[in-house]
């Protein structure tokens, strides 16, 4: 009777698993204890995509953008004193600085959040 139950369990494994490999077989077809398993396990883990140039530029842009923004604001103030602007042009140019700063800050924040800890 015990032999019959074991054969039924084997039949279920063959129909469910298809190939009837050992219980420790992974998706790539290697068996536990083989050298291929370690490689297969590493390949199946969560994949982390990183880009060193992206990380460097994001780091530098964290310091570069505030300097550019302040220089742009100073240039606009200088232009306001030296040159004559149309009535609506000067406030519009100054106003554009703030959405630009918000977009850049969110871009830097999201870039750093997606890189993960560290």
Average pLDDT rounded to a whole number, residues 66-92: 90
Q: How far apart are CA 93 and CA 19, in angstroms?
A: 69
Residue 30 has pLDDT above 50, yes or no: no
Residue 111 has pLDDT above 70, yes or no: yes
Q: How far apart are CA 89 and CA 79, in angstroms?
A: 12
Residue 73 has pLDDT above 90, yes or no: yes
Average pLDDT rounded to a whole number, residues 11-39: 52
pLDDT at 90: 86
Q: How confident is the model at residue 52 (pLDDT cuts 50, 70, 90)?
A: confident
Least confident window among 14-18, 90-94, 113-117:
14-18
Q: How far apart are CA 63 and CA 66, in angstroms?
A: 6
């Amino acid at each position: 009777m015990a032999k019959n139950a074991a054969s039924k369990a084997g039949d279920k494994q063959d129909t469910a698993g298809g190939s009837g490999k050992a219980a420790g077989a992974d998706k790539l077809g290697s068996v536990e204890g083989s050298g291929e398993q370690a490689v297969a396990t590493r390949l199946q883990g969560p994949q982390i995509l990183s880009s060193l140039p992206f990380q460097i530029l994001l780091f530098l842009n964290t310091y570069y953008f505030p300097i550019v923004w302040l220089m742009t604001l100073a240039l606009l103030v200088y232009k306001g004193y030296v040159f004559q602007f149309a009535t609506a042009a000067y406030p519009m140019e100054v106003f554009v600085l703030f959405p630009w700063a918000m977009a850049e800050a969110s871009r830097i924040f999201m870039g750093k959040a997606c890189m993960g800890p560290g």
